[in-house]
Amino acid sequence: MSRLGSLGARLYRGEVGYDFVAKRKIWYGISILITITAIVGLAVRGLHMGIEFSGGAVFTTPTTSVSADEAREKAESAAEGHTAIAQKLGGGGLRIQISDLDTAAAQPVQEALAKDLGVQSSKINTQLVGPSWGEEIAKKAWQGLAIFMILVVIYLAIAFEWRMALAALIALIHDLTITVGVYALVGFEVTPGTVIGLLTILGYSLYDTVVVFDGLREGSKDLTKQTRYTYSEIANRSLNSTLVRSINTTVVALLPVGALLFIGGGLLGAGMLNDISLALFVGLAAGAYSSIFIATPLVADLKERDPQMKALAKRVRAKRAAVAARGESSAESEASEDARGTADAEEDADEDLEPEDATPAGVVGPRSTGAARDQAARNQPSRNRGRGRPSGKRR
């Protein structure tokens, strides 16, 4: 077994672990700082909406020696002040996008670009997008996001509980805010591919969160009937047991997305891949972070405010103080409690196995043979269950 696999097994069994929940204030502070930075970037720089949302024209040229910066300047000059974006394509051509350009102005701009770039006007491919179509896409995207959030909250509240639903919703908003803020800071344009990427990361973020919540639900069953662990400690154990799996799935998902972003969009110049790959890359990383450092600690915070969990935490502290006063270690205390529980379970099992019409101990029926007497003697319990009790039964 590899070292990572061995570590995962030890984390799952609770032999080792990191106390994420106890340090939740640190994670909250980091998340608040990142979120504020994203919001400030969004407010200052804003989102650069693609022509699918704002309307405009896209000109695709054949191979040319003109750089992207020169083409952008020439396009803005030809479009008389309209904002232009130029990207170098893998085959040596250019993709020039000019926002808010109507059909009447597109033809003169195409001819001016052909002259400035030294290519034939007929070989420039022109695509026009109206702003109404982009507005309809944006409206549908917001509606889909709202419906998705509502359904997620309802499902998690039914399958788990409302505290987990609230924590998952906060984690989703956290991931969306960071991703949108990074888009604003980097300056990538928002396209329908961006919307697809955002919706994809929502599902991935929920996957890790639900896995941890499922383990937490199983581990917290009948929690108030014991005095070993508080709810926060059970939450931390559940988080550690799925930690390696979360890391593995995140890394495996980030590798191909990183190849699209840095190799496809960066080195090969396929700028259209940047739209969806940046949203996926940032969203996957933020989703893995929020499921570990935000969602589960937040559930523990909310749950510890419950009166039953407060009483449990008080009993756990009292028991640990008593154990410390006796000079026992926590391991010895748990071992002795396990031993007492095992002994009681064995005694109860022996009583349950006694047949209702059994012949009293030492008495053999009139038709019994010697072999039957030997068998009856072997079937008798090895210890006297009624020792010290007049009735022979447990009270």
Domains for the chain: give ranges and CATH numbers: 3-48+133-310 (1.20.1640.10), 56-129 (3.30.70.3400)
The predicted pLDDT at position 36 comes to 94
Contact 57, 101 (CB under 8 A): yes
Pick from 57, 143, 73: nearest CA to 108: 57
Say what angle helices 192-219 and 243-258 make with each other, to 10 degrees. 170
The predicted pLDDT at position 167 comes to 92
pLDDT one digit per residue (tens) for the chain, 395 residues: 556 556 556 655 656 667 888 888 999 999 999 999 999 988 888 887 777 777 788 888 888 878 888 888 888 888 877 778 787 776 778 888 887 777 777 888 888 888 888 888 888 888 877 766 667 777 887 888 888 889 888 998 998 889 999 999 999 999 989 988 888 888 777 877 788 888 888 877 788 888 888 888 888 888 888 888 889 888 888 888 888 888 888 888 888 888 888 776 666 655 567 778 888 888 888 888 888 899 999 999 999 988 988 898 899 888 888 888 887 555 555 555 555 544 444 554 454 444 444 444 444 444 444 444 454 445 454 444 444 444 444 43
User: What is this structure's pTM?
Assistant: 0.69
